[in-house]
Amino acid sequence: MVDVTVMGAGAFGLSVAWSCVKRGASVRVIDPFGLGSGSSGGTVGALSPHTPENWNDKKEFQFQSLLMAETYWAEIERIGDQPSGYGRVGRLQPVMNDRGFELARAREETARTLWRGKATWRVIPAEDAGDWAPLTPTGHLIHDTLSARMSPRMACAALAAALRAKGTEIVSNAPESGQVIWATGWRGLVEMSEDMGRMVGNGVKGQSALLRLSRPNAPQLFADAVHIIPHVDGTVAIGSTSERDFNAPDTTDALLDDVLARAFAAVPALHGAEVIERWAGVRPRAKSRAPMLGDHPTKPGQYIANGGFKIGFGMAPKVGEVMADLILDGTDNIPEPFKPEASL
């Protein structure tokens, strides 16, 4: 018998388990597909903020989670003795035209207020970024210091190691016991849609790749709608596609070739790097596009933590915290846009 059963060993499931364990609960994690088997086992790992303007509950929640990340992952690494690949390395984006330059400058001011001195958003000359700079028609880049990177696979392994160090089982099958939280990714959203007879969430396929290129301390890049993420293990991740319609969830094709071509065209420093892995997986997307957190719509007395579409690892520290508040303390600190009703 355990106090909490978490169904799903991805970013949300493991983070909820960790927050519950830290508060003294006994937890079991169940996933028939294994650790990080869905999109949480991908390659990219871009932890990036929303633009500092038009502030709302979703942006504030993500901001708080990104600020938590450094101490969060440091503790997990210490307890589990496994690296997570986390690094708050910042991000560079090209400024494409005069209008973009004006917007970027205006956001320098709003970032001072909305980010409250915890991070900066600045327009810089491209030469300040050295040879890692993406091509930019204006000669300028946006540099923010809130963005971070992490290796999804390393992060899942680090969380699992820390959980096991605290006595938590991570198994493929076991009876449900205690409070039950469903964090089962896109398959869970599809199943819930079928149960309710209408679409409340689905899966969006993403294809990405790994290059053999060592830039472990370089900032992540976002250029021509492509994420370029240097990892600590001597690789650089390139991604990704967003495919609403797909036949095979785990195969790559010409759409990934196009993503790679755009990355190589945008960043001269990538030229000559070898592609060592091509990956595809499906990310969970709730109808509202926001995470779905709270009481499970079709499983009375149980809970859901799902829908971390493109933002799962960035949101994970805060998601774990508010779900533990709800499950263990009965305290509801979940923003209204994140509650399941927003997607029903």
- Residue 187, both tokens: 């398959």
How would residue 344 be classed by pLDDT, with cut points 50, 70 and 90?
Answer: confident
> Is the per-residue pLDDT at 116 higher than 90?
yes
Q: Three-state SS for 70?
A: helix
Q: Within 10 A of 192 (CB to CB), how many other CB atoms are there?
A: 25
For 281-323, the pLDDT digits (tens) are 999 999 999 999 999 999 999 999 999 888 899 999 999 999 9
Query: Exposed, middle or buried by CB within 10 Å (0-12, 13-18, 19+), for 81?
Result: exposed
d(CA 159, CA 163): 6
- Measured between its terminal Cα atoms, the distance across the chain in Å is 33
Pairing of strands 220-223, 91-94: parallel
Measured on CA atoms in the order 207, 210, 216, 221, is the torsion positive or negative?
Answer: negative
- Residue 221, both tokens: 């890049």
For 165-209, the pLDDT digits (tens) are 999 999 999 999 999 999 999 999 999 999 999 999 999 999 999
- Residue 80, both tokens: 């589990």
- Residue 301, both tokens: 């007395």
Mean pLDDT, residues 233-239 taken together: 97
Pairing of strands 148-149, 46-47: antiparallel
Mean pLDDT, residues 207-216 taken together: 98
pTM: 0.95
What's at 61, amino acid-wise? F
- Contact by Cβ (8 Å): 149, 83: no
> For residue 15, is the peptide bond before it cis, meaning its omega torsion is within 30 degrees of 0?
no
CATH number of 4-88+148-198+287-343: 3.50.50.60
Q: So where are the chain's domains?
A: 4-88+148-198+287-343
> Is the per-residue pLDDT at 11 higher than 90?
yes
- Residue 83, both tokens: 């690296």
Q: How far is CA 82 from CA 165, 186, 291, in A?
A: 11, 27, 28
Beta bridge partners of 148: 47
